[in-house]
């Protein structure tokens, strides 16, 4: 069903505030990337704007904010932190209640503890959990099934646990390791950015249209934002190029796009 608006009224805009918690900084220290935090935040914003084509007339009527909005009463919040408080090693989780088909609620909070979710037997804590990305390493004991040696090639030079040296203040850009640091910034920002896009996609009612019990794409494939986590390899999330092959960026499927344009037209 297409939404129609009376003369003089514009379609409602979905505003999303990306809130960075102290745990986010702690996680970047583990990766040796604390001193390039601002560059990583810039990359995250670049990715979410690209994913939702915010600068394109064919894109979605959504706006991402670095600071808490004061000009909108209703806006969504997604928290980016460090460790998963659910103790499940999740990369991210939309802990809002139910599937909001049609995006009837413009004030979702993906973060903190949701008591309603807990009472329903679901994981209570939501957000993006950057420390969980360490399980992509092929060198840790509790690694993911999709762990990758490429992860260690990208981040190992800066991680103390792998004998690396963290990025120093003023080392980027212009230092002798600029190329490797730039790759790590790109990879980390891409991973977090597409996770943010994925979790906000859930709050908008994705993935399978009009099916309350389907939260991910029905048919997983390469480069699809709303695929389940186990179907998205590290190289794709990090949007890297390796051995002549370029991975990513992931996109919304045509079905996803048709739905998003229907609920949030420009």
pLDDT given at position 3: 52
Q: What is the mean pLDDT of residues 61-73?
A: 95
Domain for residue 9, yes or no? no
Q: Is 60 exceeded by the pLDDT of residue 1? A: no
Q: What is the mean pLDDT of residues 132-141?
A: 95
Our count of domains for the chain comes to 1
Domain for residue 1, yes or no? no
CA angle 252/136/196 to nearest 5° reads 35
More confident residue, 73 or 39: 39
pLDDT given at position 9: 61
More confident residue, 69 or 107: 69
More confident residue, 214 or 2: 214
Burial class of residue 104 (count of CB atoms within 10 Å of its CB; 0-12, 13-18, 19+): exposed
The answer to whether the CB of 126 falls within 8 A of the CB of 110 is: yes
Closest CA to 134 of 75, 197, 90: 90
pLDDT given at position 229: 81
pLDDT given at position 209: 62
Domain for residue 249, yes or no? yes
pLDDT given at position 22: 97
Which residue range is the domain that position 146 belongs to? 14-263
The answer to whether the CB of 74 falls within 8 A of the CB of 203 is: no
Give the length of the chain. Answer: 266
Burial class of residue 79 (count of CB atoms within 10 Å of its CB; 0-12, 13-18, 19+): buried
Q: What is the mean pLDDT of residues 109-121?
A: 88
Domain for residue 8, yes or no? no
Tell me, what DSSP letter sits at residue 52?
T
Closest CA to 68 of 129, 12, 15: 15
How are beta strands 112-113 and 245-246 bridged, if at all? unpaired
Give the predicted TM-score (pTM) of the model. Answer: 0.91
Kindly state the tokens that stand for 150.
Answer: 């490429």
Q: Is 60 exceeded by the pLDDT of residue 56? A: yes
Q: What is the mean pLDDT of residues 106-123?
A: 88
Q: Is 80 exceeded by the pLDDT of residue 5? A: no
pLDDT in tens, 200-236: 999 999 976 666 667 778 888 889 999 988 889 999 9
Domain for residue 81, yes or no? yes
Domain for residue 164, yes or no? yes
Of the chain, the percentage scoring pLDDT greater than 70 comes to 94
Q: Where are the beta strands (DSSP E) in 111-232?
A: 112-113, 125-129
pLDDT given at position 105: 83
d(CA 67, CA 259): 28
Domain for residue 7, yes or no? no
More confident residue, 196 or 102: 196
pLDDT given at position 212: 66
Domain for residue 53, yes or no? yes
């Amino acid at each position: 069903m297409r939404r129609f608006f009376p003369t003089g009224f514009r379609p409602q805009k979905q505003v999303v505030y990306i809130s960075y918690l102290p745990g986010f900084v702690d996680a970047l220290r583990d990766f040796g990337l604390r001193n390039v935090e601002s560059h990583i935040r810039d990359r995250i914003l670049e990715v979410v704007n690209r994913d939702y084509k915010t600068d394109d007339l064919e894109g979605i009527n959504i706006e991402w904010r670095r600071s808490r909005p004061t000009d909108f009463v209703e806006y969504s919040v997604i928290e980016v932190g460090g460790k998963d408080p659910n103790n499940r090693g999740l990369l991210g989780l939309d802990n809002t209640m139910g599937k909001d088909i049609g995006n009837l609620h413009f004030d979702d909070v993906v973060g903190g503890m949701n008591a309603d979710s807990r009472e329903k037997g679901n994981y209570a804590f939501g957000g993006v959990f950057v420390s969980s990305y360490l399980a992509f390493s092929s060198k840790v004991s509790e690694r993911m099934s999709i762990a990758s040696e490429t992860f260690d090639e990208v981040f190992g030079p800066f991680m103390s646990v792998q004998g690396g040296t963290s990025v120093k203040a003023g080392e980027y850009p212009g230092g002798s390791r600029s190329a490797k640091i730039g790759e790590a910034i790109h990879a980390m920002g891409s991973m977090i950015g597409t996770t943010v896009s994925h979790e906000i996609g859930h709050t908008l009612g994705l993935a399978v249209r009009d099916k309350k019990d389907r939260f991910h794409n029905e048919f997983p494939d390469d480069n699809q934002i709303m695929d389940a986590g186990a179907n998205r390899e590290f190289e794709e999330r990090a949007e890297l190029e390796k051995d002549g092959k370029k991975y990513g960026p992931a996109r919304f499927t045509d079905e996803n796009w048709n739905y998003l344009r229907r609920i949030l037209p420009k």
